[in-house]
Amino acid sequence: MRILALAILLIGAVSAAAPAHAQTYDPNYPICLQSCALGGCKIECDYTSLAQCNASASGRAAQCYTNPFFGLGYPEPHRGSYRRQHR
């Protein structure tokens, strides 16, 4: 009986947990902006300089930092070679 009660409690706790959102860091940009609001925080790695990011963060609950994944050399996805055949 205890095991059944614990199982029901565990299922209820797991289903009530909020889903986690994946944070993506774009390895093509060296600077990221983390901004927070009532709904949570989000990270945007769309900046090429710290000055550009600071201008965007001005007046908001946000901070700029260097992208931890910039320049690690992740390979570009292979797009395949498209060759036009001449006749």
Q: pLDDT tens, 24-61?
A: 678 889 999 999 999 889 999 999 999 999 999 999 99
At residue 9 the predicted structure's pLDDT band, cuts being 50, 70 and 90, is confident
Classify burial at 28, counting beta carbons within 10 Å of its beta carbon; exposed 0-12, middle 13-18, buried 19 or more: middle
H, E, C per residue of 23-87? CCCCCCCCEEEEEEECCEEEEEEEECCHHHHHHHHCCCCEEEEECCCCCCCCCCCCCCCCCCCCC
pLDDT at 14: 57
What number of residues does the chain have? 87
Asked whether the predicted pLDDT for residue 78 surpasses 60, the reply is no
* pTM assigned to the model: 0.55
